[in-house]
Amino acid sequence: MTGTQQQEIMDLRALNLTPKQIARKLGIKVSDVNAAIQNQAEQTTLDRLAKGELDPVYQCFASESLIQLLPKIPPKNSIKNLLTKILPVKNNDDIDRGLGLVVIARVARYNQITVCSYLLDIWCLGVKDTIPPRTVDRIKFQEFTEAVFEPFPGEPQEVTLEVAQGMIFSACEYALSLGFQPHKDFSKSRSHIGEWDGSIRIECGRDGKPFYVNGPHDNPKKIMETLKKSRGEGNFDFLIGERSY
């Protein structure tokens, strides 16, 4: 196939013609059209990766517990002003015990989707768990999203990438200030998030200080020692088992 034919295919594709319509118009095989479209898509991806660019965002979702921490929309306010405002954490012992979930999905090659999830402990530990990038089709993506959000009350809501970044990095930043590193797999899913400009934040902690809630895979003794070292005795709350202190 000549370079001229390839360009004609791309021009017609830009007009939303189907491969069959393009083949008929140019007098070539449908398989040749499909091959040209796929090669162009692959080259575009390679060019983007060479420049250090991430795949385009497909969808981002966040649990209701995190959505509640975003600023309310006041009338006649610009989005830019809105996103720099912060609401305090709502004092509700029944909402996930400080846990929230964010899912970020990007469009991969061959019409696939690459997805990561981030379990956040906004009261203390930051990025508590993460599922590194996995590539799925659209049906599997929907199944994945439904499965990971199933333990959380309420319906997950779609958010912008900037909001998702703000949730993840706010929790991560807060935890680091307390002496806690992100989950060990965070390094595998960090690049999937993109670069955070810091314009969107959520307030972490509970009632102005850390609140550690014991999880099934935690090392409570080590965590308590870290909190005592970073904040000092009496400057944080904790819940071990069903007892709050």
Say whether pLDDT at 191 is over 60.
Answer: yes
**If you ran DSSP here, which 8-state letter would residue 154 be given?**
S
The pair of structure tokens assigned to 42 is 């692959």
High-pLDDT (> 70) share of the chain, %: 82
Res 112: pLDDT: 86
Say whether pLDDT at 236 is over 50.
Answer: yes
Res 36: pLDDT: 85
High-pLDDT (> 90) share of the chain, %: 55
Question: Of the given ranges (93-102, 129-138, 202-211), which has the lowest mean pLDDT?
Answer: 93-102
- Contact by Cβ (8 Å): 84, 199: yes
Three-point CA angle 167, 196, 126, nearest 5°: 35
Collapsed DSSP state (helix, strand, coil) of residue 156: coil
Res 72: pLDDT: 60
Mean pLDDT of the chain: 84
Mean pLDDT of 27-47: 77
CA-to-CA dists, residue 28 to 3, 38, 51, 66, 192, angstroms: 14, 16, 34, 53, 39
Mean pLDDT of 207-236: 93
> Which of these, 3, 154, 183, lies nearest to 90 by C-alpha position?
154
Res 77: pLDDT: 37
Mean pLDDT of 192-214: 92
pTM of the model: 0.72
CA-to-CA dists, residue 202 to 89, 185, 216, 217, angstroms: 8, 23, 26, 26
Give the pLDDT confidence of 79-131 residue by residue, as tens digits: 333 333 333 334 444 345 799 999 999 998 767 899 999 999 999 999 999 99
Question: Kind of pairing, strands 211-213 and 57-62?
Answer: unpaired
Res 41: pLDDT: 65
Say whether pLDDT at 62 is over 80.
Answer: yes
- Contact by Cβ (8 Å): 61, 145: yes
Stronger pLDDT, 39 or 166, i.e. the higher one: 166
The pair of structure tokens assigned to 40 is 């162009």
Sequence-distant (≥ 6) Cβ neighbours of residue 98 within 8 angstroms: 121, 122, 123, 124, 206, 211, 213
Res 158: pLDDT: 96
Confidence of residue 74 (pLDDT cuts 50, 70, 90): very low
